[in-house]
């Protein structure tokens, strides 16, 4: 029963996402899947560890370029490419993490942004012989088909993205239940107390940093496979705040916030840019409104309401318990 209760929300969410495929065009659905995986790392950093990161594109680019180099120069198997992207993500976050996680939250945001800019110019100008600068690397035709899930076909890519998303979300849900997850939250809320309890603040943050950025690198590698091309645009400083915006829109620290945020953000970008021509206006003021209204975000507001509605009907046990508690 407990096992079921643990899994049902995950299964339900991803079933709904699969259903989404019927209603929206395929590229849009794929974009949402990758974008939510991209954002979940930022959400974890901001909601669980209290680090606001304006530099997520840096790790996205690391994953994307690692995969792109593999496809362009070495091999053809998309799965290997994604794996290489993930490994590169782990490598880079382990290399810069020890320096970055010592910094305070606001400074952390800035050095991360600096890293994104440095990688941007590295890819655009310094390594131009390998990366072909602004033209980017095109390798769509280099990708080979695999017998089971053929990632070169968008519809099968969606199934793959769905599966990856499921695993990622199961992992983050599991993290929330562990003592480690509690420690992360502790380091956000009360650092001193955590130290007092004998935990090493630094290593908790480092592990969180590596986990989050590896997820982001995974999203980057998936972008590379899906689009079949990578250019420095992916890490451009003007897009640095995208994941933060999506995180806030969805609801900071909620498990499904990134998915809801990604749907809302991509949807608004698509629809509003056609209707209004400037969706920044809406996104910006929505952000301000959400922050002033209690920074809960879309999912953070909806979740308690939905839970309440569900609890009332099918689970009388739970409702009964809370009633007893109330008395």
Partner 1 sequence: MDIQLLTSGITFGLSLGSIFFLMTIGLSLCFGLMRVISLDQLLYYSVGGYITYSVSLLIGNLWLGVLAGMAVGGILGFAVERLVFMRIYERDITFSMITSFGILIGGVGVIKFFWGLVPRPVPVPIDSQIDILGTDIPVYRLVVVAIALLVYGGIWLFLNRTIIGKAIRAGIEDVEHVEGLGINVYRLFSITFIMAGALSGLAGGLHAPLIMVDPQMGLEVLAFAFMIVIIGGLGSIKGTLISSFLVGQVVSLGSLVYAPLAQMAPFVLMLLILLLKPTGLYGSPLLKR
- Choice from 283, 296, 298, 303 touching partner 1 (CB under 8 A): 283
Choose the stretch contacting partner 1; rule: CB under 8 A; options: 56-64, 113-121, 147-155, 215-223: 113-121
Site string for partner 1, 259-278 (x = CB under 8 A): ------------------xx
Spell out the residues 6+ positions from residue 219 whose beta carbon is closer than 8 angstroms to its own.
34, 35, 37, 38, 41, 60, 63
Choose the stretch contacting partner 1; rule: CB under 8 A; options: 203-211, 224-232, 240-248, 263-271: 240-248
Considering the complex, what minimum distance in angstroms separates the CB of residue 111 from partner 1? Answer: 6
| 159 near partner 1 (CB under 8 A) | no
Considering the complex, what minimum distance in angstroms separates the CB of residue 288 from partner 1? Answer: 4
| 98 near partner 1 (CB under 8 A) | no
Q: Residue 229: enclosing H or E segment and its boundaries?
A: strand 229-230
Collapsing DSSP to helix, strand or coil, 132 comes out as: coil
| 202 near partner 1 (CB under 8 A) | no
CA distance 86 to 161: 15
| 312 near partner 1 (CB under 8 A) | no
Residue 169 to residues 35, 43, 50, 150, Cα–Cα distance (Å): 13, 12, 19, 23
Residue whose pair of structure tokens reads 């305070």 in the numeric block:
104
Helices (H) and strands (E) in the chain, counts: 15, 2
Q: Which is nearer to partner 1, 61 or 161 (CB)?
A: 61
| 105 near partner 1 (CB under 8 A) | yes
DSSP string, 167-228: HHHHHHHHHHHSHHHHHHHHHHH-HHHHHHTT--HHHHHHHHHHHHHHHHHHHHHHHHHHHS
Q: Which is nearer to partner 1, 50 or 186 (CB)?
A: 50
| 15 near partner 1 (CB under 8 A) | no
Considering the complex, what minimum distance in angstroms separates the CB of residue 145 from partner 1? Answer: 38
Q: In the window 40-59, what residues touch partner 1 (CB under 8 A)? A: 46, 50, 52
Q: How many CB atoms lie within 10 A of CB 111?
A: 16
- Choice from 106, 147, 309, 313 touching partner 1 (CB under 8 A): 106
| 126 near partner 1 (CB under 8 A) | yes
CA distance 143 to 274: 33
Q: Which is nearer to partner 1, 29 or 244 (CB)?
A: 244
The secondary structure of residue 145, as a DSSP letter, is P
Considering the complex, what minimum distance in angstroms separates the CB of residue 64 from partner 1? Answer: 20
User: Which of 108, 86, 82, 105 minimizes the C-alpha distance to 97?
Assistant: 108
Could you list the residues that contact partner 1 (CB under 8 A)?
46, 50, 52, 99, 102-107, 109-111, 113-114, 117-118, 121-122, 124-126, 237-238, 240-241, 244-245, 248, 277-288, 291-292, 295
């Amino acid at each position: 029963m407990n096992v079921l209760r643990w899994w049902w929300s995950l299964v339900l969410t991803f079933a709904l996402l699969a259903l989404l495929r019927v209603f929206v065009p395929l590229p849009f659905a794929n974009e949402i899947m990758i974008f939510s995986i991209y954002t979940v790392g930022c959400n974890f950093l901001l909601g669980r560890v209290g680090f606001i990161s304006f530099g997520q594109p840096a790790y996205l680019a690391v994953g994307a370029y690692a995969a792109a180099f593999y496809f362009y120069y070495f091999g053809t198997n998309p799965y290997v490419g994604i794996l290489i992207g993930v490994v590169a993500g782990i490598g880079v976050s382990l290399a810069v993490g020890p320096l970055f996680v010592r910094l305070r939250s606001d400074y952390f945001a800035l050095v991360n942004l600096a890293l994104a800019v440095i990688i941007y110019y590295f890819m655009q100008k310094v390594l131009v012989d390998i990366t072909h600068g602004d033209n980017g690397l095109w390798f769509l035709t280099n990708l080979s088909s695999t017998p089971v899930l053929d990632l070169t076909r968008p519809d099968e890519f969606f199934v793959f993205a769905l599966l990856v998303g499921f695993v990622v979300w199961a992992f983050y849900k599991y993290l929330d239940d562990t003592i480690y997850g509690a420690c992360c939250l502790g380091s956000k809320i009360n650092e001193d107390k955590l130290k007092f309890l004998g935990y090493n603040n630094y290593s908790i943050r480092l592990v969180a940093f590596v986990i989050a950025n590896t997820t982001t690198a995974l999203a980057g590698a998936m972008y590379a496979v899906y689009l079949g091309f990578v250019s420095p645009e992916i890490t451009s400083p003007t897009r640095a705040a995208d994941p933060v915006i999506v995180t806030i829109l969805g609801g900071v620290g909620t498990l499904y916030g990134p998915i809801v945020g990604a749907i809302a953000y991509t949807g608004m970008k698509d629809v509003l840019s056609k209707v209004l021509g400037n969706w920044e206006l809406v996104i910006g003021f929505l952000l301000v409104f959400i922050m002033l209204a209690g920074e809960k975000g879309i999912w953070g507001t909806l979740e308690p309401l939905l839970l309440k509605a569900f609890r009332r009907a099918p689970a009388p046990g739970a409702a009964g318990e809370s009633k007893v508690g109330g008395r």
